[in-house]
Amino acid sequence: MAGANSSAEMAGRTVAITGGARGLGFATAELFASRGARVGLIDVDRDALNDAVVRLTDFGADAVGIVGDIRRRVGAHACFGEACARLGHVDVLINNAGVYPRKPILEIDDDDWDRTFDVNLRGMFHMTVAAALHMKPRRAGQIVSVASIDAYIPYAKNAHYAASKAGVISFTKSFAEELAPFGILVNAVSPSAIDTDQLRRLGMYDDLARNSPLGRVAEASDIAEVICFLASERNRHITGETVIASGGALMY
Check residue 1 and give its pLDDT.
Answer: 57
Residue 8 has pLDDT above 90, yes or no: no
pLDDT above 80 for 198: no
CA 216 to chain CA centroid, nearest Å:
22
Give the distance, in angstroms, between the CA of residue 109 and the centroid of all CA atoms in the same chain: 26
CATH topology of domain 14-245: Rossmann fold (3.40.50)
Query: At 6, is the secondary structure helix, strand, or coil?
Result: coil
- Cite the active site residues: 161
Distance CA 164, CA 99 (A): 10
Residue type at position 170: S
Residue-wise burial string across 95-110, b where 16 or more C-beta atoms lie within 10 A, e elsewhere:
bbbbebbebeeeebee
For the stretch 81-101, pLDDT in tens is 999 999 999 999 999 999 999
Q: Is the pLDDT of residue 197 over 80?
A: no
Quick check: 5 pLDDT over 70? no
Q: Is the pLDDT of residue 208 over 90?
A: no
Could you tell me what percent of the chain has a pLDDT over 70? 97
Residues 4-23 have a mean pLDDT of 85
Are 39 and 56 in contact, with CB atoms under 8 Å apart?
A: yes
Q: 7 falls in which pLDDT band (50, 70, 90)?
A: low
Cα–Cα distance, 212 to 4 (Å, whole number): 29
Sequence ranges of the domains in the chain: 14-245
Q: Is 182 helix (H, G, I), strand (E, B) or coil?
A: helix
At residue 4, does pLDDT exceed 70?
A: no
| Confidence check: pLDDT of 225 > 90 | yes
Q: Of 150, 172, 145, 141, which Cα lies nearest the Cα of 249?
A: 150
Q: Is the pLDDT of residue 65 over 70?
A: yes
Mean pLDDT throughout 36-40? 97
In the chain the first and final C-alpha atoms are separated, in Å, by: 33
Residue 58 pLDDT exceeds 90: yes
pLDDT band, very low/low/confident/very high, at 132 (cuts 50, 70, 90): very high
Which whole number is the average pLDDT over 233-244? 97
Q: What pLDDT, on the 0 to 100 scale, is given for residue 215?
A: 87
